[in-house]
Amino acid sequence: MAEILRYDRVDIAYNGKTVITGVSFDLRPGEILGIVGESGSGKSTVIKAAMGLLGPSGQVTRGDIFYKGKDLPDLSPAEMRRLNGPELGMIFQSAGASFCPIRTVGAQLYESMTEHERVTKADFTHRACELLQKIGFEDGMRILNSYPFELSGGMQQRVGIAAAMLMNPSILFADEPTSALDVSVQKQVVEEMLLVREAFGTSIVIVTHNIGVIGAMADNVMVMKDGRMVEYGETRQVLDDPREAYTKTLMAAVPRLKR
Amino acid sequence: MPMQPILKVENLTKVFKSNGRPDFTAVDHIGFELMPGECLGLIGESGSGKSTVANLITRLTDMSEGRVLLDGRDITRLSGSALREAYRQMQMVFQTPTESFDPRHTLGDGIGESLRNFGACRAEVKKRVAALLTQCGLPAEFADRYPHQVSGGQCQRAAIARAIAIEPRLLICDEATSALDVTIQKEVIALLGRLREAMHLSILFICHDIALVQQFCDRVMVMYKGKIVEEGVPDEVIRNPKNDYTKRLIESIL
C-alpha cells in the first residue's frame, strides 16, 4: 500500500547547528512506528518537524517530509494550522500540562474542534462522549465537565488522546505519551492507542525511551543515536535480534522482568 | 547470637495535615528490618508512600508515629550533633542528581563536605575526594566542575561518591537511577553493586522498576497506599504474587 507519510533524507538544524542527519522512513496507513533512543538522540525533534513545531530556531535544512503529496516543511504556517488537528494529531508527554487549568476539559475540546469545522455544541457533546466511552471512560459527560486538575495523571493522558482523536486525524504523533505514568496506567494508555488504530485505521508514530511500550504496540521501530538512525526494521527483529552494536548495547541494558 | 539488623523500622506512620482538607496518611504503620549487607527493594506506584518512607528514616521529614533504629540505636528523636553522628552511618542518594548538589559549589565541595564536617583537614579532603571520584568511575578533575557542567549520569556518580565519602553502613537510594538513560542506569547499578561488595553496604533501594529490583535486590517489599502489602524474595514475589495489588502490578508490565 502507498505510504501516508514519507521522510526522505531529512536533516534538521537548531540555530544553524545540525542535530538530525539523514532520517528516512515510510509510514503506511494503519502502521505503528516506534522511535526509540536515549535522551538527546533527537527522537522528539524528528516528529516535531512534521508538525511544524520546531520553533523559531529550528529548521528542516535538507530532505523532504511528504504527507499525501505535500512537502510539509514548505507549507506556510496557515496551511500547517489547517493540517494540525484534523489530519495530524499530537499527544504530548504531560497532556495535563497542555490543557488550560481554569477551563473545563469540555470547553477546551469544543474550542479546538470549532477551530477546524462547523459543529454545534450538541453534536460536539455527542461525538466527544462517544469517543471518551470508546477509550474507557464510562461517564463522558463527567469528564467534559471536569477541570484538568480534577483528573488523575492517567486520566489526563487519556483525555489527551481523546483530544487528539476527536477530529479523527490520519496520523497520530505521540511524544513519550506514557513516560509520566505508572505501569498499570501505562498499559491502559497503550491499549487505548491500539484500540484507536483498530477503530479508525489511524497511523501512529510513537516516540519513547520505553522498549516495553514499543514491543507491545509498534509494527516497525527506528533506533536513534546522536541524531542519526542506527537501525530501522520490523519490531521483533530489532528488539530480539538487533544487528547494530548500539542497538545490542541498548537492548542489553533494558532491565527485563523474569517471570 | 543472631545478627542485629542495621535498620529496624517499627510502626512508622506519617499523616500529612493541611487546613481545610482531610488528613492524608502517606505511610501507615509499617515495619521492617534490613540486615547488614542486604539489599532491600521497595516498590510501588507513584503516591504509594515510598519516598516518604525514605524521608522519615533519614529524618528529613518528621514522623507522626513509630520508631527508627539504626544499628540498634533509636534515632527517632535525635537532633543536632547526635543526628549528624547518625548520618555517619546512613547516607542517601536522590532521584535528581543535579538538583541534589548546591549549584554554586563544585562537585568536590559537595563530596568533601561530610569529611570536613567530621574534622578532616583541607589537604586530606582533597586527596579523599580525588580517590572517591576515581572509585566511582569519574576523573579526579571533576572535583572542580559545577553540577551543571556534567551529565546526569556523571552527576549521579558524584552523588554516590558524596554518599560513600564517610563510609556509611547504610545507603538509601530513592529512585537513584530513574532519571537516567538505560545504558547509564546499567553502569550506575554496576557501580552500586561493586561498592556494596567492597564496603559491605546495606542498601534500601526505592524504585518503581520491578525488573531492576529483581536484578539488584535480595528482598523486595511492595507498597500500596501507605502500607506494605507483600514482602519476599523478588523472584518469588514476581512469579507467585499473593496480594491482589501485586498481581495487578506484575500483570501490567509490558
CATH number at residue B235: 3.40.50.300
pLDDT digits (tens, 9 = 90+) for A70-129: 999 999 999 999 999 899 999 988 887 889 999 999 999 999 899 888 999 999 999 999
The number of folded domains in chain B is 2
Lowest mean pLDDT among A12-26, A153-167, B222-236: A153-167
pLDDT tens sequence for chain B (254 residues) = 568 999 999 999 999 988 877 889 999 999 999 999 999 999 998 889 999 999 999 999 999 999 999 999 999 999 999 999 999 999 999 988 999 999 999 999 999 999 998 889 999 999 999 999 999 999 999 999 999 999 999 999 999 999 999 999 999 999 999 888 999 999 999 999 999 999 999 999 999 999 999 999 999 999 999 999 999 999 999 999 999 999 999 999 98
Q: Whole-prediction pTM value?
A: 0.86
Question: Do A255 and B208 make contact, defined as CB atoms within 8 angstroms?
Answer: no
Burial of A16 (0-12, 13-18, 19+ CB in 10 A): exposed
pLDDT digits (tens, 9 = 90+) for A170-187: 999 999 988 878 888 888
B19 and B141 in a common domain: no
Place of cell 506519617: B14
Is 80 exceeded by the pLDDT of residue A135?
no
- Could you tell me which chain A residue has the CA closest to the CA of B183? A253
Amino acid (1-letter code) at residue B24:
F
B131 and B30 in a common domain: no
Which three cell numbers, joined as nine digits, stand for B222? Answer: 511492595
- Could you tell me which chain A residue has the CA closest to the CA of B189? A253
Beta strands in B71-167 (DSSP E): 73-74, 90-93
Q: Residue B209: which of A209, A218, A43 has the closest Cα?
A: A209
% of chain A at pLDDT higher than 90? 67
CA of B170, closest CA in chain A: separation in Å? 25
Sign of the C-alpha dihedral computed for residues A82, A85, A87 and A88 taken in this order: positive
Distance of CA A107 to the CA centre of its chain: 23
Q: Provide, as residue numbers in chain A, all residues whose Cβ is less than 8 Å from the Cβ of B183.
A: 38, 249-250, 253
- The residue among B135, B167, B199 that closes a domain is B167
Question: Do B249 and A183 make contact, defined as CB atoms within 8 angstroms?
Answer: yes
CATH number for A198: 3.40.50.300
Strands B39-43 and B202-206: parallel
The confidence band for A192, taking pLDDT boundaries of 50, 70 and 90, is: confident
What pLDDT score was predicted for residue B176?
Answer: 93
Distance in angstroms (rounded) separating the CA atoms of residues B53 and B63: 9
The number of folded domains in chain A is 1
Q: What is the mean pLDDT of residues A10-30?
A: 96
Interface test with chain A among B182, B225, B244, by most A beta carbons within 10 Å: B182
ipTM: 0.80
Count of C-beta atoms within a 10 Å radius of residue A234: 11
Q: Which residues are registered as beta bridge partners of A32?
A: A204
Interface test with chain B among A36, A206, A257, by most B beta carbons within 10 Å: A257
% of chain A at pLDDT higher than 70? 100
In degrees rounded to 5, what are phi and psi of residue A225? -150, 135
- The residue among B167, B182, B198 that closes a domain is B167
Enumerate residues 6+ apart whose C-beta is below 8 A from B10: B31, B66, B67, B68, B69
Enumerate residues 6+ apart whose C-beta is below 8 A from B69: B5, B7, B8, B9, B10, B75
Q: State chain A's maximal CA–CA distance in angstroms.
A: 56
> Does A187 reach chain B within 8 Å, measured CB to CB?
yes
What pLDDT score was predicted for residue B67?
Answer: 96
Do B77 and B58 contact (CB within 8 A), yes or no? Answer: no
Range of the domain at A201: 5-253
Any domain includes A259: no
Q: Give the full edge-to-edge strand order of the sheet including B65-70.
A: B24-34, B7-16, B65-70, B73-74
Question: Do A253 and B182 make contact, defined as CB atoms within 8 angstroms?
Answer: yes
Q: Which residues are registered as beta bridge partners of A187?
A: none
Distance in angstroms (rounded) separating the CA atoms of residues B115 and B118: 5
Helix locations, A14-104, DSSP H: 43-51, 77-83
What pLDDT score was predicted for residue A131?
Answer: 86
Is 60 exceeded by the pLDDT of residue A1?
no
Question: Do B183 and A249 make contact, defined as CB atoms within 8 angstroms?
Answer: yes
Distance in angstroms (rounded) separating the CA atoms of residues A33 and A172: 10
What pLDDT score was predicted for residue A249?
Answer: 95
The confidence band for A213, taking pLDDT boundaries of 50, 70 and 90, is: very high
Is 80 exceeded by the pLDDT of residue A136?
no
Q: Provide, as residue numbers in chain A, all residues whose Cβ is less than 8 Å from the Cβ of B184.
A: 38
B242 and B144 in a common domain: no
B185 and B84 in a common domain: yes
Q: Which residues are registered as beta bridge partners of B231?
A: B221
Is 90 exceeded by the pLDDT of residue A35?
yes
B178 and B62 in a common domain: yes
Q: Provide, as residue numbers in chain B, all residues whose Cβ is less than 8 Å from the Cβ of A183.
A: 45, 208, 210, 249, 252-254
Enumerate residues 6+ apart whose C-beta is below 8 A from B112: B120, B125, B126, B128, B129, B165
Q: Provide, as residue numbers in chain A, all residues whose Cβ is less than 8 Å from the Cβ of B241.
A: none
- The residue among B146, B167, B188 that closes a domain is B167
Amino acid (1-letter code) at residue B12:
L
In degrees rounded to 5, what are phi and psi of residue B79? -145, 175
Any domain includes A258: no
B188 and B81 in a common domain: yes
Any domain includes A76: yes
In degrees rounded to 5, what are phi and psi of residue A29? -60, 135
Q: Provide, as residue numbers in chain A, all residues whose Cβ is less than 8 Å from the Cβ of B250.
A: 257, 259
What pLDDT score was predicted for residue B1?
Answer: 56
Q: Residue A175: which of A109, A91, A79, A253 has the closest Cα?
A: A91
Distance in angstroms (rounded) separating the CA atoms of residues A214 and A190: 9
For A120-129, the CB contacts below 8 A with 24+ separation are A127/A166, A128/A162, A128/A166
Q: What is the mean pLDDT of chain A?
A: 91
- Could you tell me which chain B residue has the CA closest to the CA of A212? B254
CA of A259, closest CA in chain B: separation in Å? 5
Which three cell numbers, joined as nine digits, stand for A74? Answer: 514548505
pLDDT digits (tens, 9 = 90+) for B41-90: 999 988 899 999 999 999 999 999 999 999 999 999 999 999 999 999 99
Range of the domain at B123: 98-167
B182 and B159 in a common domain: no
